[in-house]
Structure 1
């Protein structure tokens, strides 16, 4: 049901939608594929903020005009959501056309040429891959917009998810997987989900894959969505089995779970990286990678992966309850042992409860160089969102207490009680982070207090003022490239829809943070988010002389 809005609120909604519309129109015009011998419905990943030339990646003397649909999922959500709010179908049509083309033409077996190390070159109309990784299929907290894929082509969406599991799972009996996947031949000659699983298989087994939760969560997210679309129980069973592998890593005393559930050893190359680097220094704790969690890894466990699991719980209802329970348990354990309410930070941990903040590394390795320290990290708005959402779905009061502390550390003032008790909120938040909008909308949905919706509007205003430049969403007007997958326009659409009382019609976002990582000529291994989208425009000669 649409909310009754005042004239002032209606004006604000129009301003947000108009900013997103301007961005969509410019991107549809300038980023649409017009390269090489023929055009396609695809888009460049980003464009130059002044010339509108597409982003390019230099690899082994080649220049790729990057189009990586896995890194455009929020762009697709934005187009879909914009059509929903404006009634203009052409935005949605453009998103569906790109997905339809990908499902027809960009197949790597039954996988897709997309993700962390693969893309499509719009100039040559050829798939490309990281020179230092090979043609590896990889998703890590990408969480694709499967609803759109399924709407466009249900059969090929099913084939993709089957191929995802078949191409990444290396041992179904214990669910060892590799973050790097390859297509499986004759996929349809077997039922992917008809495999044998050893229910009593222990964790911390030795394997070759790195069973990171950032990759594992994409696997169980996909299988659970398969169940949602097609009603089959076995994909959901496999999704729960994989999600539960991380539960099985938990220390029985602390409840702290690990970032992976296997011990990765590559014969002749390396052993377990925690053992290699800290085996002597932390001998009394006998650390392995599965029991040593950095602050960044903790963020993924209780941030992106927790939001992913909670999204599944909401989507699937009672059949997805375990996903919520496991997310809540992680949030509580890390809140108790890793969170410091005095400086609002999360600490690197051993899962036995030992904090590692300030540990000076005696040996160089995966975790850093000798002489460097393991560091804590400040809780951010994504973690606030995660804790508030977990409270809303579970009602566990400890989660609200943690959220209240995190919010205070972020400058949110006192968010008060869930029942809407006295709150001491600032009139402004000094942030234009779009994730703050999702956190504030979660607070609004949880408490029913419009003060949180009004504070979200202040963030929305700051986004339009400070991150909307020349029709593009960028961190500043001085940034050289604008990313199509910017989260700001999607956040503004969610905010506008919340003000109208129709947020349930918006494409869901659960915290995914896509990336492309590959060797770049002259610079070594790089990620697009840093190399391209943090790059500033060259200073003009006049500016340099002042």
Structure 2
């Protein structure tokens, strides 16, 4: 019999120790390939053969193939194989397929040759996503035999790979999965390769599997004991009433340490110590791991005391003050949010407390969960869960928050907000960096921030892609390098010099790579913008002209590779052969142009402004659809718009066909409609001193963008990735609304357009968006990233919303520049 665990309540504990459905009887399978291949099913058969006592796979370019053993379906399993690959094998991508069912669901644990690491993929048909983080780098040698082993127990998957004949290492890879059903198992080869396997074994009763099961059960019991002593009760009223203003909901959440932990028992609540209500609750009564208490909307503040009592004598208590709902000045919500982040959002999760601000916070418990519910994360973050920075902090994504904290100090005269921002920056830049030891290709000493890696505050180490050894990649967000340099000049100089050394692959042409491996790679417009702004700022703060030369050299890469007739550059002009190498998007007229404009503002060098203005005007000329009164999202470099069509597969899924989508779902991809609108109004602001000296063509472009954004109001889930988002987060169908970032960018844009035109209508639009954002997102002193989730998330752009609300609160102050 296979050992099974007791099922636990939903939440992080359940994710750690979830169990699979029982499978009758044990299963043992072994093949040393000394005979025929009748015990296997190959897909496709033409690429697999048994000969010379080995199973051979010769896979052609771009093909994926697998061999399934003819066993019954199993869930908890130990699999082992020995393999080698030829010296002339084009790729070295191989591994195991397991839990493969008849509905085309399957898990694949593979060695992936580019990062030289183990990774876990989940497939449903041709759609796939990566689960968890990759292992540290593992070297494999052509022609040598290697042993690969995998164990799957419930929601836990572990694996290892080592040279055959050497001592077996400990588990090198660890991940959790949601695919708990039974399925068949076998071998897989991805992409082109020549492989030879000389044995394959599968067992549901191997000693190593039983040992792992027993270890996980012991860990579960120990954690239960520890968690019981740390259980608390969070009680948080929602900020605004339901049912047309008649009913207010209070969220009641038992939690342990940092994670929600639903409990059955008796729930009791009193209002002002008099009215007593109670009910029995089961785990099934929880909604998103919260109990909901409904009270009439109060006419004056009332005290609500809540108690949750369990059958075994545990009693949890807490109190909330329920005030009548009313909209307050926008600055109130910003101040409350930043004070909540300072008090509850800073790092106290590892061996020592630090001033880092956590990237994810539960807005009811005000704790950063070990592993938040996935919800929209896979869709929003384009299959790359490390971008969420779970359990950690990511200063790159907090640039908007940092600016809001400083601006709040300026407006209120209270230095504590700016001081907290400064402490965050100093600590991060001094302590949160990748190693520089030459062990791995990305160990360049650059900060553990950006879109691949972050700082794990629980373990105080780099985390994310390749277990924290992944690439340095900084995109889109406009970093305040000047302020960071004032706080940490040595660290910022080190970053600038490291970017030049590791990201700029041709120092003459300015060709760059979004990754820090020093090789030719994707030269995205929004990563190039981040680099050139860094160099431009360094020229200002150091007075060293070579940094200005470097900024211009990087700017020149896209500029000199533009179509000279249309002035449209490809987003990715290097030799990648993809559609982003032959088309332009709002990535150029949005984030890239914004970085150029900021470089002009920092240096005063008009070279940057002229390039930005040319991009903005060229996109307007060729992208505007007069008949539809909107912009096209994707243009050929000759200026021809790309019409709408079905979403492609693979990387093609992110091509923005047809007209622009204002309220975007994905974090990056190739569509930045609101950023393009912001760039247009920023370009107008910087085109002269006083309205009569500014460029009217840029204002006309900004007004066209305003008509597009207004036409898409109220904020909602945009058409791209709408189905995927609603499937992953069904509550979004009823809540509506957009991400905090989109609200923030749209509010800021209309505030700046109001300043430029003096038209009250634009200010009214900003206020309408702000009211919608506050009513949908504000909860318990924080803004959620989206109305349908319970989390504050920096990758959802809450910091940008906070800054925009401050701009709206002081909409007549002197121009500060768009976000």
Give me the whole-angstrom Cα distance separating, in 2, the residues matched to 1:64 and 1:365.
26
Query: Hey, what does 1:330 align to over in structure 2?
Result: 615
TM-score (normalised: structure 1): 0.70
Deviations 1:185-242 (A, max 9, x none): xxxxxxxxxxxxxxxxxxxxxx731111111111101001111211221111111121
5 Å matches for 1:314-329?
A: 314-317=601-604, 319=605, 321-329=606-614
Counterpart of 1:388 (choices 669, 675, 681) is 681
Higher relative contact order (CA 8 A, sep 6+): 1
5 Å matches for 1:526-537?
A: none
CA contact (8 A) 2:472 2:516 kept: yes
Give me the whole-angstrom Cα distance separating, in 2, the residues matched to 1:368 and 1:463.
29
SS of corresponding position for 1:303: helix
1:18/1:390 CA distance change after superposition, 3 Å: same
CA contact (8 A) 1:114 1:137 kept: yes
5 Å matches for 1:300-319?
A: 300-317=587-604, 319=605
The question of 1:255 aligning with 2:567 is answered yes
SS of corresponding position for 1:128: strand
Aligned length, in residue pairs: 424
Of 455-464 and 66-75, the range deviating more from structure 2: 455-464
SS of corresponding position for 1:138: coil
Displacement after TM superposition at 1:145 (Å): 2.3
Unaligned runs of 5+ in 2: 1-325, 373-384, 437-444, 663-672, 688-693, 713-736
CA contact (8 A) 2:396 2:449 kept: yes
1:401/1:48 CA distance change after superposition, 3 Å: same
1:323/1:138 CA distance change after superposition, 3 Å: same
SS of corresponding position for 1:238: helix
Deviations 1:443-473 (A, max 9, x none): 2332345554455344434433333222111
The question of 1:456 aligning with 2:766 is answered yes
Give me the whole-angstrom Cα distance separating, in 2, the residues matched to 1:477 and 1:254.
41
Q: Which has the higher helix share?
A: 1
Counterpart of 1:355 (choices 630, 634, 641) is 641
Deviations 1:132-182 (A, max 9, x none): 894211101133222331221223222221212212112213323221115
Query: Hey, what does 1:497 align to over in structure 2?
Result: 810
Counterpart of 1:406 (choices 698, 702, 705) is 705
Q: Which has the higher strand share?
A: 2
Query: Hey, what does 2:583 align to over in structure 1?
Result: 292
Counterpart of 2:410 (choices 84, 88, 96) is 84
CA contact (8 A) 1:444 1:450 kept: yes
SS of corresponding position for 2:550: helix
TM-score (normalised: structure 2): 0.48
5 Å matches for 1:15-414?
A: 15-56=329-370, 65-108=391-434, 109=436, 110-131=445-466, 134-181=469-516, 208-264=520-576, 272-274=577-579, 289-293=580-584, 298-317=585-604, 319=605, 321-343=606-628, 344-358=630-644, 366-368=651-653, 374-378=657-661, 380-394=673-687, 395-411=694-710
Give me the whole-angstrom Cα distance separating, in 1, the residues matched to 2:420 and 2:699.
41
Displacement after TM superposition at 1:39 (Å): 1.0
Give me the whole-angstrom Cα distance separating, in 2, the residues matched to 1:354 and 1:99.
44
Deviations 1:313-362 (A, max 9, x none): 23322x2x11111111111211111221332131422102233214679x
CA contact (8 A) 1:150 1:157 kept: yes
Displacement after TM superposition at 1:440 (Å): 1.9
Deviations 1:39-80 (A, max 9, x none): 1111210201222231545999xx951211112222222221
1:358/1:167 CA distance change after superposition, 3 Å: same
CA contact (8 A) 2:529 2:593 kept: no
Larger Rg: 2
1:244/1:489 CA distance change after superposition, 3 Å: same
Give me the whole-angstrom Cα distance separating, in 2, the residues matched to 1:458 and 1:292.
35
Displacement after TM superposition at 1:21 (Å): 1.3
1:390/1:144 CA distance change after superposition, 3 Å: closer
